[in-house]
């Protein structure tokens, strides 16, 4: 079969469009509303390109099977315009598919796309007077997304702006590191001012409360007690049958640390990573096979009377 045109949901088509929007963005002065506006359009193309890299079918709105057929490159019936998933759904899928595209980045994208919606669907001026404090977070998202599709930032932004982006991303990491260091030091100071007996009591309580069922146990960087890391699913889960139970293992990316002893709370992957708590961990849950396959049983036998040999 000859391929004269790219599929409009293909990674290639979306990436070239992202590059076009990036060029338009960079043609604007940074304090012009259009700088932010084109940046949002570029970011949407990158999110979609990353999902499409796994499969174009993941961009199809599955409510109508014709959309899936279209994504597969087949001719469809009479439907003229094929529908892809909303950007919010694309973000959810990208977060599930790519562990490096973490919750912090998704949250930034949600905010930026809300601005885009405000610009397109109302009389509001969400990109006016926005400044550029959002740019380091924006470039961090772009860098992660272009890595998922295997292109360098310089291809999207040009060499000069890619270098600027690298500087801004590094500065963001440095800022996160400074902020979290300050928080840890403050909690450490307060902790060390407590009486030894009180510290021992609080540490013991924290150890009791920090069960594996409640989260992933980790040493608190401020008081060295046992704290808990909570995370979001990052990657595919695996399951196997062990000792009569279905054991499900899910890789998790940290999103929050809490210490019940000194009260330290660190939220957001970049800050957790900056203080050494950013490593992925595995959530392990054991299920009774009846509970695990409950839905299958219901589907199979639901609505039927007891078995009998009545002809």
Partner 1 sequence: MQILDDISTRGFVDLGIYEPEKCISKIALQLGRYLGVRLHANFEQLTTNSTTAKPQNTYAGNYGFSELPLHTDLAHWYVPPRYILLRCVVGDPEVSTLLLHHREVVAQFSEAIVRRALFRPRRRLEGKLFLMRLRDNGIFRWDQLFLTPDNHEARQVRNLMISPHSSFKIMEEVTLAEPGRTILIDNWNTLHGRSLVKTIPSQRRIQRIYFHEEGYDD
* Interface residue list for partner 1 (CB under 8 A): 2-8, 10, 12-13, 16-17, 19-20, 23, 152, 154-155, 158-159
For residue 6, the minimal CB distance to partner 1 (Å) is 5
Nearer to partner 1, 7 or 194 (CB): 7
Question: Which of helix, strand or coil describes residue 95?
Answer: helix
Nearer to partner 1, 4 or 74 (CB): 4
Q: Which two tokens stand for residue 56?
A: 């174009």
For residue 8, the minimal CB distance to partner 1 (Å) is 7
CA distances to 18, 77, 87, 160, 169 from 80, in Å: 25, 8, 21, 42, 42
* Cα(265)–Cα(256) distance, integer angstroms: 7
* Cα(105)–Cα(97) distance, integer angstroms: 14
* Cα(9)–Cα(246) distance, integer angstroms: 38
For residue 275, the minimal CB distance to partner 1 (Å) is 37
How open is the CA angle 17-23-29, to the nearest 5 degrees? Answer: 140
For residue 151, the minimal CB distance to partner 1 (Å) is 8
For residue 54, the minimal CB distance to partner 1 (Å) is 13
Nearer to partner 1, 18 or 266 (CB): 18
Nearer to partner 1, 2 or 305 (CB): 2
H or E element: which one contains 242?
A: strand 238-242
Nearer to partner 1, 13 or 145 (CB): 13
- CB atoms near residue 213 (< 10 Å): 6
């Amino acid at each position: 079969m000859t391929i004269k045109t790219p599929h409009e949901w293909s990674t290639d088509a979306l990436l070239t469009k992202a590059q076009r929007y990036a060029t338009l963005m960079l043609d604007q002065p940074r304090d012009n509303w259009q700088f932010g506006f084109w940046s949002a359009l570029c970011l949407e193309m990158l999110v979609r390109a990353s999902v499409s890299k796994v499969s174009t079918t993941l961009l199809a709105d599955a409510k109508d099977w014709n959309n899936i057929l279209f994504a597969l490159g087949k001719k469809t019936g009479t439907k003229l315009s094929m529908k892809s998933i909303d950007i919010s759904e694309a973000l959810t899928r990208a977060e599930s598919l790519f562990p490096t595209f973490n919750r912090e980045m998704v949250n930034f994208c949600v905010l930026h796309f809300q601005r885009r919606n405000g610009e397109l669907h109302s009389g509001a001026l969400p990109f006016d007077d926005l400044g550029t404090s959002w740019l380091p977070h924006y470039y961090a998202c772009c860098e992660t997304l272009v890595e998922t599709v295997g292109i360098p930032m310089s291809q999207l932004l040009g060499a000069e702006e890619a270098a600027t982006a690298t500087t801004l991303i590094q500065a963001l990491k440095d800022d996160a590191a400074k902020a979290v260091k300050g928080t840890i030091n403050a909690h450490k100071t307060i902790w060390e001012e407590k009486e030894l007996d009180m510290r021992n009591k609080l540490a013991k309580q924290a150890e009791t409360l920090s069960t594996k069922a409640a989260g992933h146990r980790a040493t608190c960087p401020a008081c060295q007690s046992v704290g808990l890391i909570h995370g979001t699913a990052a990657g595919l889960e695996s399951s196997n049958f062990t000792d009569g139970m279905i054991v499900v293992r899910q890789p998790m990316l940290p999103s929050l640390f809490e210490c019940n002893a000194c009260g330290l709370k660190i939220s957001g992957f970049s800050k957790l990573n900056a203080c050494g708590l950013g490593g992925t961990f595995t959530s392990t849950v054991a299920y009774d096979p009846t509970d695990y396959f409950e839905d299958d049983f219901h589907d199979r036998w639901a609505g039927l009377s007891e078995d009998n040999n009545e002809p």
